[in-house]
Amino acid sequence: MIHSALQNLGRLAGENFLDIPKIWLEIMMDYFDNLIMPCFNYSFPKTKIADLRILKSEVGVLSEVFRNHNTIRSTHPMFGFCGIGTEISEILKPNQIEHNPFCKESVYGRLWDKNALMVFLGIDIRVCTFMVFVEAMYGVKYRYFKPFFGKVIGDFGEIRGDFYHFCLPLGESLKVNFFRIQEEMIANGIIKKQVFGGSKVYYFCTKPFLEYVIKRLQEEPFILLQEAPKHFYIFKDGKESVIA
């Protein structure tokens, strides 16, 4: 899986600026047998409708160029993925509705099961949504599952229902901070880092990453936060409530 921020890498000498995403895409499609990128879109909680056949990616120009490259798409309206390759249908399950992207039976769950390689091109793991999956697998108390009701449209037809996010509470201004654990994992060889262009490339495999983060959460439950929460919350009957 590729997360990217191409603007941080600098220009490719002699190439038209508008052609750079396509050049990067051609390189990666030649290199990887199975290529996946996030095509997240955060409009669903407001619009309550997502047509996956046309819904744009809001997480970078490369992912949007990739989305339009005859890719297969997963089915969560907010945390969706596009992919090309021999195993992509098995991983993304384009005809099976995904209500919860942070449970074991999800795209992230299957990427973890396959010990997939995750690459962060021009950006560090501050944008690592796989970390939210790890938090959900561990069961951190400072997040809760929140449903968003709406309609999802795709080649499979139309489905109405609840689609979930593993949210930080609105009652506190909690901020995540992955820098400390990122540096620990670099020092331990779990995350690799290479200088590349005007920025860096970070990459890791999902199984050792998950194992290390869960170990550290057991030792320090709030290691992924800037500060410890004052309370814990639950979302029930359409509202957020303090539970502790």
- Of the candidates 151, 111, 153, the one whose C-alpha atom is nearest the C-alpha of residue 134 is 111
pTM over 0.85: yes
Give the phi and the psi of residue 140 in degrees, each rounded to 5. Answer: -60, 145
Q: What is the pLDDT, as a whole number, of residue 17?
A: 67
Give me the percent of the chain exceeding a pLDDT of 70: 99
Q: What is the mean pLDDT of residues 141-150?
A: 98
Query: Do the beta carbons of residue 193 and residue 123 sit within 8 Å?
Result: no
Q: SS3 for 219?
A: helix
Label the pairing between strands 157-167 and 144-154: antiparallel
pLDDT at 5 over 90: no
pLDDT per residue as tens digits for the range 12-45: 777 776 788 888 898 898 889 999 999 999 999 9
pLDDT per residue as tens digits for the range 63-93: 999 999 999 999 999 999 999 999 999 999 9
The radius of gyration of the chain from alpha carbons, rounded to an integer in Å, stands at 18
Averaged pLDDT of the chain: 95
Burial 16-52 (b: 16+ CB within 10 A, else e): eeeebbeebbeebeeebebbbbbbbbeebeeeeebeb
